[in-house]
Amino acid sequence: MSESRYIGEYPAIGIRPIIDGRRGKLHVRESLEGQTFGMAKAAKQLFEENICYSNGDPVKVVIADTCIGGVAEAAQCEAKFKKEGVAITLSVTPCWCYGSETMDMDPLTIKAVWGLNATERPGAVYLASVLATYSQKGLPAFGIYGRDVQDADDPTIPADVQEKLLRFARAAVAVATMRGKSYLQIGSVTMGIGGSIISPEFIEEYLGMRMESVDEVEIIRRMTQGIYDHDEYEKAYAWTKQYCKEGFDKNPDFIRKTPKQKEEDWKFTVKMLVIIMDLLDGNPNLPEGCEEEACGHNAIAGGFQGQRQWTDFYPNCDYPEALLNTSFDWTGAREPYVFATENDTLNGLGMLFMKLLTGRAQMFADVRTYWSSASVKRVTGYDLEGHAKESDGFIHLINSGACCLDACGEVKDADGNGVMKPWWKMTNDDIEKCLESTTWCPADTGYFRGGGFSGRFLTRAEMPATMIRLNRVKGLGPVLQICEGWTIALPDEVSDILWKRTDYTWPCTWFTPRCNGKEGPFKDAYTVMNNWGANHGAISYGHIGADLITMASMLRIPVCMHNVPEGDIFRPSAWNAFGSDKEGQDYRACKAFGPLYKTIR
């Protein structure tokens, strides 16, 4: 689809066909070879047709050269997988096999086992046996077992098995893709926001990533000394002037910038954008003598401090942040970056989780205001309908212009529904709709003394959405909150009244969670807001909470709040040994197994 921005290969999935090693006159092994390899090939096809890397390419799937009936063949398989870059393994079998002799013993691979539910051979017995052995050795593995019995000659994968296989693969590819990459913070702590107080230990031990840091003055140095791709800047600036419409200026006359000053701000912010890309990715086209700067930081995510020292003096970073997070720019559709406003590292990493799961641009927003049905009626005279009525209100998602343009809701699917597409499905018409719906208002100088431009749009579509928050708690570690719901479309006149009570120059999205009316954090939209763990949220298109729960278990991050149906929760089988309550299981198992990449216990 496109070249990877990152150094190194994407992680491959390795399929391990496990077989009863007994041969002899009855040819036990030989009678099972075709069926066992058939399961492996079916799983390979399922993955290749449904799982993509973040650059849009189908996932690479490798099958062992032979079935694995004992330790020698397990070692041969491991040797092949190391050469092929396998980071994820799926063992498949229709029969009884020898557990500890055939299992994947690599402590860093992410593991699952699919045992066929059939009566001719005890594949389920091997599955239970080897999962117990994985747990005994401290190597969590996912168990996959179909509900209904299959005939031995049935080559299909049942729907419930497909769902688990794909959930495992999506989450595992996301986890493994992060490994060895960097989070780049430009600047440091923003306005005392806890999420911007970065923890190298969390990033290294839980995610397998590096923490990189440069001072904001590096952007000024590169601007001043011309250390950027001048041709790329000219293209970006010309595209910006043609397609990015300047919006209204809310600033009073005595402090409003002149047209000439605004033009200089545009040039400045576009240079910021191309320089930040160079810092994240590197760029071989920098001027001669800039070989060090050309290397970049191999960053899969990053953030910019901005407030207040930068924004009190220089134009803000809203335009660069918004374009980075969007699924297109002057080059056309391209893989969105993950770049956190106010260097809220924890929110940026949440955005990264969901981008890798979905291939879609992610929203960054303040979880700003809860509007009850009664409050909306009192202020606007409007009676809420649909999901918002069911949840007794909604939450206002808004921040200073740095949200991805995809969130405008103007892109439609084949049925005319608002959608945020995987970036590789974005068309030129989709891009034009996003640009047409967005204006760039001169920054509110009460917030941003140095000026700049804030993106502005209104999400006018009902779309399924998942909002998450990653937090760190002293004495506990990281925890994840997950809230599935919908963006909602209010009448424009109602939106205007509510929107004008805060900053009318920032992008505006109304979000209502899926609530159940029962006591707890999902009683109604108010209780969700009241239980939210921080001032920011990361928001993705689609209801992807179940995938996030699976991913979090791989990373050993417990989920402290979610509204995912219990039947959709899929975690390693070892979690079942930590009690019968799903939430308590998760906390105890994550503590017992510890961070995925921590080497000193």
Structural domains of the chain, with CATH: 12-178 (3.40.50.1070), 182-593 (3.20.14.10)
Two tokens, residue 188: 């440091």
Predicted local distance difference test score (pLDDT) of residue 22? 85
Alpha-carbon span 591 to 367, nearest angstrom: 29
Alpha-carbon span 421 to 418, nearest angstrom: 10
Question: Model's pTM, two decimal places?
Answer: 0.97
> How much is the mean pLDDT over the chain?
95
Q: Distances in Å between the alpha carbon of 268 and those of 274, 275, 290, 450?
A: 10, 11, 21, 11
Alpha-carbon span 279 to 294, nearest angstrom: 8
Q: Tell me if residue 478 falls in helix, strand or coil.
A: strand
Predicted local distance difference test score (pLDDT) of residue 600? 58
Alpha-carbon span 378 to 198, nearest angstrom: 42
**Residue 246 CB neighbour total at 10 angstroms:** 14
Q: Which region among 20-29, 127-136, 173-182, 460-469 has the lowest average model confidence (pLDDT)?
A: 20-29
Which is it for strands 182-186 and 210-214: parallel, antiparallel or unpaired? Answer: parallel
Place of tokens 């760039």: 440
Q: How many CA atoms lie within 13 A of 437 on its CB side?
A: 21
Annotated catalytic residue 366:
yes
Q: Tell me if residue 177 falls in helix, strand or coil.
A: helix
Cβ neighbours of residue 310 closer than 8 Å, sequence gap 6 or more = 187, 216, 316, 317, 450
Q: Which one, of 279, 370, 269, lies nearest residue 316 by Cα?
A: 269
Predicted local distance difference test score (pLDDT) of residue 153? 82
Q: What is the mean pLDDT of residues 497-525?
A: 96
pLDDT at 4 over 90: no
Longest CA pairwise span in the chain (Å): 96
Predicted local distance difference test score (pLDDT) of residue 29? 83
**pLDDT digits 0-9 by tens, 45-69:** 999 999 999 999 999 999 999 999 9
Annotated catalytic residue 385:
no
Alpha-carbon span 266 to 250, nearest angstrom: 17
Catalytic residue among 293, 342, 430, 586: 342
pLDDT at 206 over 70: yes
Q: Which one, of 246, 363, 257, lies nearest residue 315 by Cα?
A: 257
Predicted local distance difference test score (pLDDT) of residue 152? 78
Q: Which one, of 371, 395, 368, 594, lies nearest residue 502 by Cα?
A: 368
Residue 333 pairs with which residues in a beta bridge? 328
Two tokens, residue 353: 């989780």
Apex 267 CA angle, 266 and 270, nearest 5: 85
> Residue 118's pLDDT band (boundaries 50, 70, 90)?
confident
Percentage of the chain beyond pLDDT 90 is: 91
Q: Distances in Å between the alpha carbon of 579 and those of 128, 282, 586?
A: 18, 48, 9
Q: Under a CB-based contact definition with an 8 Å cutoff, are residues 391 and 515 in contact? A: yes
Alpha-carbon span 69 to 129, nearest angstrom: 15
Alpha-carbon span 272 to 8, nearest angstrom: 27
Alpha-carbon span 63 to 79, nearest angstrom: 12
Alpha-carbon span 490 to 409, nearest angstrom: 13
Predicted local distance difference test score (pLDDT) of residue 119? 66
Backbone angles phi, psi at 12, to 5 degrees: -100, 155
Catalytic residue among 366, 444, 503, 547: 366
Q: Under a CB-based contact definition with an 8 Å cutoff, are residues 327 and 407 in contact? A: no
pLDDT at 126 over 70: yes
N- to C-terminal Cα distance for the chain? Answer: 41
**pLDDT digits 0-9 by tens, 547-583:** 999 999 999 999 999 999 999 999 999 999 999 999 9
Two tokens, residue 558: 């417990």
**pLDDT digits 0-9 by tens, 131-184:** 999 999 999 999 999 999 888 788 899 999 999 999 999 999 999 999 999 999
Amino acid at 448: F
**pLDDT digits 0-9 by tens, 405-423:** 999 999 999 999 999 999 9
> Residue 209's pLDDT band (boundaries 50, 70, 90)?
very high
